[in-house]
Amino acid sequence: MRQLTYAQALSEGLCQSMERDPAIFVTGIAVDYPSGIFGSTTEAAKRFGPDRVFDAPAMENALTGIAVGAAAMGKRPVIVHPRNDFMFLSFDNLINLAAKWRYMFMGRAGNVPIVVRAVIGKGWGQGATHSQSLQAPLAHFPGLSVVMPAFPSDAKGLTIAALQHESPVVILEHRSLYSTCGEVADTFEATPIGKANVVREGTDVTIVGTSFASYEAVHAAEELGKHGVSAEVIDLRSIRPLDEETVLASVKKTGRLIVTDTSWELCGVVSEIAALAAEKAWPHLKAPVIRIALPNCPAPVSAKLEEAFYPKASTIARAAFKLLGRDQNLIGDWSREDNFKGPY
């Protein structure tokens, strides 16, 4: 099968959806620039023109409300935040309104199927306010679907799914994944929202990941294989709704669980999955769950501090060794090659 980058896959999912549904339009800062959200909206801007792909002022809150109003009148707006962190400014319209609209008007005022794309930054000094990922606060609220594609095939498939969904969907994309490559079907096919993916099967330990952490988990599993450890990697893909079944089936099989995410531990996705295992797979657990998340400080800028801040693929591999009672010193210090070029 042909290979596409994550950015190309996002673009293809968007363009194929726009061809089929004239109600879709795309707006947000710089969506129609030649660089179009790191290349993911450039093609749509070229093909569908300024009536359907257009720039907007920096007004994250009103833009979200505008999307809700247009959606209530039958449109399918896509709004894009080049960084997650700006989305905090949209929380009123996103959480107080979009997430609750269908429920609190009992569907009579429409379903407001807006799609919000937001990009998580990482490394190269993105720093405290350009590198956060908001899946935990967003997924907390009933009424929003929150998805995090880690691989190009899901970048396309989840875009298509979001643009067919009956209620609001937030797609959290990861800047470090934009240039990664993978097999992507040229057909128009949705990745189901709420279904995790067993990326790699294994029997000794389950590694549940999200977004860039899933990408690192696959690398860790490959290396673990060289040491005779069979790791199963589950990419959650969707934070809400959460696919409990796939996670639990794997934990029951391996009896060991590592959870890794792009954000912090406290009240975070890693803790949610750990609680799930404790509640519903307790008799099957052979060891305590290990959570791998960001350390408890904001993201620093200095390259030296950043290096210490982010967990790596080797962090995951060492955790697996710990669970299996193996010598963690046998695992070095390594990660996927990050070919992100600065500044943004």
Residues carrying an active site annotation: 60, 130
Task: Identify the CA nearest to 204 among candidates 228, 230, 227.
Answer: 230
Residues 64-83 interacting with other proteins (rule: CB under 8 A): 64-75, 77
CB under 8 A: which stretch of 54-62, 180-188, 224-232, 251-259 binds other proteins? 54-62
Among 49, 59, 192, 286, binds other proteins (CB under 8 A): 59
Distance, CA of 98 to CA of 255 (rounded, Å): 39
Among 51, 226, 283, 329, binds other proteins (CB under 8 A): 51
H or E segment to which residue 61 belongs: helix 60-72
33 contributes a contact to other proteins by CB under 8 A = no
Neighbours of 255 (CB within 10 A): 18
H or E segment to which residue 316 belongs: helix 313-323
Distance, CA of 124 to CA of 142 (rounded, Å): 34
Among 13, 82, 143, 152, binds other proteins (CB under 8 A): 143
192 contributes a contact to other proteins by CB under 8 A = no
Question: What character string, x for contact with other proteins (CB under 8 A) and - otherwise, covers 268-307?
Answer: ----------------------------------------
Among 15, 30, 39, 62, binds other proteins (CB under 8 A): 62
Residues 72-131 interacting with other proteins (rule: CB under 8 A): 72-75, 77, 92-93, 96-97, 101-110
Beta strands in the chain (DSSP E): 3-5, 24-28, 53-54, 76-81, 115-120, 145-147, 169-174, 181-183, 197-200, 205-209, 231-235, 238-240, 257-264, 290-294
* Interacting residue ranges for other proteins, rule: CB under 8 A: 25, 51, 56-57, 59, 61-75, 77, 92-93, 96-97, 101-110, 142-143
